[in-house]
Amino acid sequence: MAVIKATDADFQSALSSKPLTIVKYYADWCGSCKLIAPKFRRMSEDPRFSGVQFLEVNAEENEQARHAAGVNNLPFFAGFRGMALAEGVATSREESILEIIEHLQA
């Protein structure tokens, strides 16, 4: 599955369309966000995570989506079960992102 770009206009409908979602919040100026992007894309294509939707949101341009996860630093990753935030963390460590995905699937 590919990484889907979401905005305030379609964020809620994207969350409600799948039971499990991982969201990467980023900014264009964020170097760490750029470094983690290829790893996040690879995770989205991993068959182990076929039941998880992968979204990315520009945190600077989408205030409502940013507030839905309590984003306080970038890059920030948030796991959602339906419309409910399950957990979120500011990190650029692949292991931390994988933990969120595994917790969602548990």
| Residue 85 β-bridge partners | 80
Pick the CATH number of 3-105 from 3.40.50.300, 3.40.30.10, 3.90.850.10, 3.40.50.720: 3.40.30.10
Amino acid 58 reads N
Q: Assess whether 8 carries a catalytic annotation.
A: no
Q: Assess whether 31 carries a catalytic annotation.
A: no
How much is the pLDDT for 37?
A: 96
Catalytic residue among 6, 15, 22, 30: 30
CA 47 to CA 22: how far, in whole Å? 15
Structure tokens given for 89: 């963390």
Catalytic residue among 6, 14, 33, 69: 33
How much is the pLDDT for 88?
A: 96
pTM: 0.96
- Long-range contacts (CB closer than 8 Å, 24 or more residues apart) made by 90-93: 92/32, 92/33, 92/35, 92/36
Mean pLDDT (the chain) is 96
How much is the pLDDT for 1?
A: 72
How much is the pLDDT for 23?
A: 98
Domain residue spans in the chain? 3-105
How much is the pLDDT for 60?
A: 96
Is a pLDDT exceeding 90 seen at residue 73? Answer: yes
- Letter string b/e over residues 29-53, b meaning 16 or more CB atoms within 10 A of that residue's CB: ebebbeebbeebeebbeeeebeebb
Amino acid 5 reads K
For the segment 24-56, what is each residue's pLDDT rounded down to a tens digit? 999 999 999 999 999 999 999 999 999 999 999
Is a pLDDT exceeding 90 seen at residue 76? Answer: yes
How much is the pLDDT for 101?
A: 96
